Amino acid sequence: MEILDANVAAEVADKLLEIQAIRLQPEKPFTWASGWKSPIYCDNRLSLSFPKVRTMIKEQLVRSIQHYFPNVEAIAGVATAGIPQGALLANDLDLPFIYVRSKAKGHGMENMIEGKVVPGQKVVVVEDLVSTGGSSLKATQDLLDAGFDVLGMVAIFSYGFDVAAQNFEKAGVKLICLSHYEAMLPMAVQRKYITDDVLESLSEWRKAPAIWKQ
């Protein structure tokens, strides 16, 4: 995983904290579907309700694609949160847009991919959030199975798990994120959302989320 720019990473993290798209509760952790205890909950869909933040994120994602994937021919959003972000990017880049479902429709054409499928078309995948990378990489595999040439993926935020980096490397998918957990922590301290004395615990969570607070 790479980030576009350290200054952008800090700015994006700061704005996500400001609009409460990122919530931190180290003393009252969230419980994920996996059973993991987490001090953080990230819902980047909230950024869509804040025009200035939405525009800033869109512009930096466009910049990421133009820099890392200049040969892109189409944009693919990952359902559901990657759909609006992807549509915004495709509109700015004047490119075709498609999206990938988590599972095929149970009726009609039973599509997994919505939009025009063009085998060989060079596509960049758009995600809002990357945790372990499982669902994100499933979407890229669905695109590959349909005949697309997947250049890579861009995302707004990543938790920065080692397992995610390993999964993307194993799959051979380049991931570019605007911001990540490590860039967010100092901004949270600066905004006084957390104190210095809980930083160590929050850093330990990212290293071993499965056993944190157990």
DSSP class of 64: H
Q: How does pLDDT run across 160-196, given as a tens digit for each residue?
A: 999 999 999 999 999 999 999 999 999 999 999 988 8
Decide: pTM greater than 0.75.
Answer: yes
The domain limits of the chain are 2-198
**Which tokens is 148 given?**
């697309």
User: What is the C-alpha to C-alpha distance for residues 130 and 11, in angstroms, rounded to an integer?
Assistant: 18
Cα dihedral 209, 43, 51, 177 sign: positive
- Please report, for residues 13, 33, 103, 129, the alpha-carbon distance to residue 157 in angstroms, rounded to integers and kept in the order given: 8, 19, 23, 5
Q: Is the distance from CB of 67 to CB of 4 less than 8 angstroms? A: yes
Strand ranges (E), the chain: 2-3, 22-24, 30-31, 37-38, 40-42, 74-78, 97-100, 113-114, 122-130, 149-158, 175-180
* Residue 14, marked binder: no
* Residue 131, marked binder: yes
Q: Is the distance from CB of 113 to CB of 99 less than 8 angstroms? A: yes
Go through the chain and tell me how many residues it has: 214
33 versus 164: the higher-pLDDT residue is 164
* Residue 203, marked binder: no
* Residue 150, marked binder: no
DSSP class of 193: S
Q: How does pLDDT run across 170-180, given as a tens digit for each residue?
A: 999 999 999 99
* Residue 206, marked binder: no
* Residue 62, marked binder: no
Q: How does pLDDT run across 79-127, given as a tens digit for each residue?
A: 999 999 999 999 999 999 999 998 765 544 558 999 999 999 999 999 9
Q: Is 94 helix (H, G, I), strand (E, B) or coil?
A: coil
User: What is the C-alpha to C-alpha distance for residues 149 and 143, in angstroms, rounded to an integer?
Assistant: 8
**DSSP per-residue string spanning 19-53:** TTSEEE-TTS-EE-TTS-EESEEE-GGGGGG-HHH
- What percent of the chain is predicted at pLDDT more than 70? 96
* Residue 135, marked binder: yes
Average pLDDT over every residue of 200-212:
87
CA-based nearest residue to 121, from 91, 90, 92: 90
* Residue 107, marked binder: yes
* Residue 49, marked binder: no
* Residue 101, marked binder: yes
